[in-house]
Structure 1
Amino acid sequence: MGRKAWLFCWTELGAEHVGIIQSLISTCKLHDIDPYTYLTDVLLRVNEHPASRVLELTPRVWKEQFADQPLRSDLYREMKPQ
């Protein structure tokens, strides 16, 4: 992502959200976590996970607690070679 990519965010709020997502993806890469697996697991888990334990969903802590058995979407099962 370069400097000109921010022109496509349309608003300051949009740019802030893009920055959050890019930060999560970069943090995943720093911790040798597949960003797709992490984001899929967290988005599936967030509905049932207690808000008081949100720290567990950060990439570093997630890797220690959930990386061995990540939640998968139904699309993963369809895409996985048999």
Structure 2
Amino acid sequence: MVASVPWAEPGSRFTRDFEAECAWLMTVANQKTVSGFLHVSWRTAGTVARRVAERVKASMPSPFDGLHAIGVDETSHR
């Protein structure tokens, strides 16, 4: 069982800062390069980046929240 600590997500082996760094590096380098730089497996680098992306996505409001109707102008369609 992994103990819950304030500097990591529940069930994660890494700190939030490490995960954020990994995710940022994945925006500027490929997964193989990031995994070598951070000394983690290729699969771990991808899993960490995916977990961070899901956390960020969950914290962002949807631009469609509260949308009740949408209008479409058929002449501007093309």
TM-score by length of 2: 0.30
Whichever of the two has the greater Rg, that structure is 2
More helix by share: 1
- Normalising by structure 1, we get a TM-score of 0.29
